[in-house]
Amino acid sequence: MKLLIVDDEEGMREGMRRLLERRGHSVDTAADGAAAAELLGRVTYDIALVDLKLPGLDGFEVTQRINDREGNRTVVVIVSALATVEAAMEVTRRGAFDFLIKPFAPDELMAVLDRAIRQRQLIQERETYLSELNQERSLSHQLINTLRDGVVVLNVNHKPVLMNPRAESMLGVGFRDDLSLSDLGLGDSVTAMVQEALNAAGEGAYRQTRVERPDAVLEVRVIPWVRPAESPSVIVLLGDVTEQVRVEHDKNRFISMVAHELTSPLAAISSYLAIVLEGTLDGKTEKLKEVIGRSKTRTDALLELVRDLQDLNRREAGRVERAPQRLDLRAVLREQVNFYHGPAERHGVTLELEDGTEAAVMADRGDLDRIFMNLISNGIKYNREGGRVSLRIERRPGEILVHVEDTGIGMSPDEVAGIFQEFYRAHNPQTQGISGTGLGLATVKRVLAACNGRIDVRSVPGKGSLFSVSLPAAP
């Protein structure tokens, strides 16, 4: 231990020093209050043995200094003559730990010192414990404050006693002393769960529900919190599941749309097959061929649908390997236009590309093919005999636009509003007999979203449509 002896009698001072050093302590000495004060300004002592009667600053004042500096962490033992024993007791009442009456035997000094050492150890243990506790507190505080979940602690009377910032922002309520559970707007079912949790405290199980708020869906978990000798509390954890609910909802909608889209061609194929099996067309080769031909058309459309679905699914799951690279859009479009010349001719449609200077974009080749295949084939499909599909590249700062314009059947504003949704197909006399899956433009939209592009449409019924694709220009 680090010890300080303050005594003006040299013999006494040195005698004590020898005894204590023999016990393995490190000892400093001071002959008067001023010297003691100087040492106390530099060194922190575990124990100080202070003579009450000192020249200059007396023992009272030295003890006062020690307590002011160290806040009772240094254990002070007052050493005094019999004549001043009352004063020594007074100092002890005011903050010294113990006192020792002169003259004393070495055993007496050691007994007092042992008690002082024990006291010093207790103080150290308490300090360590407190600092650990503080660290734990600040750790849990930090954890709670940075959690992605909202945390609200309710006492036995359902009163919020703690809320983390996330809970405040999720619920749109700031924590204050007079807050009640109903102010949190979690509804009656959560209140009931809180009561259940308080009743069942100790059983540990938690209760869970979803609460729909105007702007979000929250997953609420109510957990009993039992501590010995304290009334039970409840921890309410809040998770924002808005996005998850939206995805689930979209997925369910998608599945029912797929089922719906598969049903009608399959039902048609099944009824054609039933006609063949009935035998009423036996021997009528031409009729048979016609029915089988219709079945084939329906089957082909189904295959196309399934392929589009697979493609959509692969993209959704991120399973399409994409490798953006610097590509000349003009070259890509030239290839596409060459590829679609045959189909365009068969539809009696002219397909042309206004060829300009190089237009470099950063994109995946597969993505570009997907986008323009769909737009060009739609331009041909939804056109008229003698019509035209023309592609034009426009450069703008930071982006390249490709305009795909046709002189086809066009669309009403209502139709335009639906075309990027999965399975949407405009149903009107002009589109009757044109096959498709309603997945092409939905895929185009997704592909563009993945490569930071966008698409705009302008269309006039009976006149034609203009699809404008924007892609980020390569630096």
d(CA 339, CA 404): 16
- Pick between residue 74 and residue 336 the one whose CB is nearest to ligand ADP: 336
- Pick between residue 33 and residue 408 the one whose CB is nearest to ligand ADP: 408
- Pick between residue 239 and residue 436 the one whose CB is nearest to ligand ADP: 436
d(CA 194, CA 206): 10
* Phi, psi (rounded to 5 degrees) for 184: -80, -15
d(CA 186, CA 188): 7
Single-letter amino acid code for the residue at 125: E
- Pick between residue 240 and residue 308 the one whose CB is nearest to ligand ADP: 308
Least distance to ligand ADP, CB of residue 466, Å: 9
End-to-end C-alpha distance for the chain, whole angstroms: 71
Sign of the dihedral defined by the CA atoms of residues 341, 409, 403, 301, in that order: negative
Least distance to ligand ADP, CB of residue 304, Å: 8
Q: With contact defined as beta carbons under 8 Å apart, do 396 and 453 qualify? A: no
Write out the residues near ligand ADP by the rule CB under 6 A: 374, 378-379, 382, 406, 408-411, 419, 424-426, 431, 436-442, 465
Q: Which helix (H) or strand (E) holds 343?
A: helix 329-346
Least distance to ligand ADP, CB of residue 345, Å: 18
Least distance to ligand ADP, CB of residue 209, Å: 40
3-state secondary structure 221-290: EEEEECCCCCCCEEEEEEEECHHHHHHHHHHHHHHHHHHHHHHHHHHHHHHHHHHHHHCCCCCCHHHHHH
Least distance to ligand ADP, CB of residue 379, Å: 5
- Pick between residue 164 and residue 465 the one whose CB is nearest to ligand ADP: 465
- Pick between residue 150 and residue 464 the one whose CB is nearest to ligand ADP: 464
Share in percent of the chain as helix, strand, coil (round to 5): 50, 20, 30
Least distance to ligand ADP, CB of residue 350, Å: 15
- Pick between residue 150 and residue 438 the one whose CB is nearest to ligand ADP: 438
SS3 (DSSP) at 204: coil
Least distance to ligand ADP, CB of residue 223, Å: 48
- Pick between residue 247 and residue 417 the one whose CB is nearest to ligand ADP: 417
- Pick between residue 33 and residue 453 the one whose CB is nearest to ligand ADP: 453
Q: DSSP string spanning 390-410?
A: EEEEEEETTEEEEEEEE-S--
Residue nearest to ligand ADP (CB): 436
Q: With contact defined as beta carbons under 8 Å apart, do 48 and 6 qualify? A: yes
Least distance to ligand ADP, CB of residue 386, Å: 16
Residue 367: count other Cβ atoms within 10 Å of its Cβ.
23
Least distance to ligand ADP, CB of residue 434, Å: 7
Nearest CA to 371 among 457, 450, 472, 441? 441
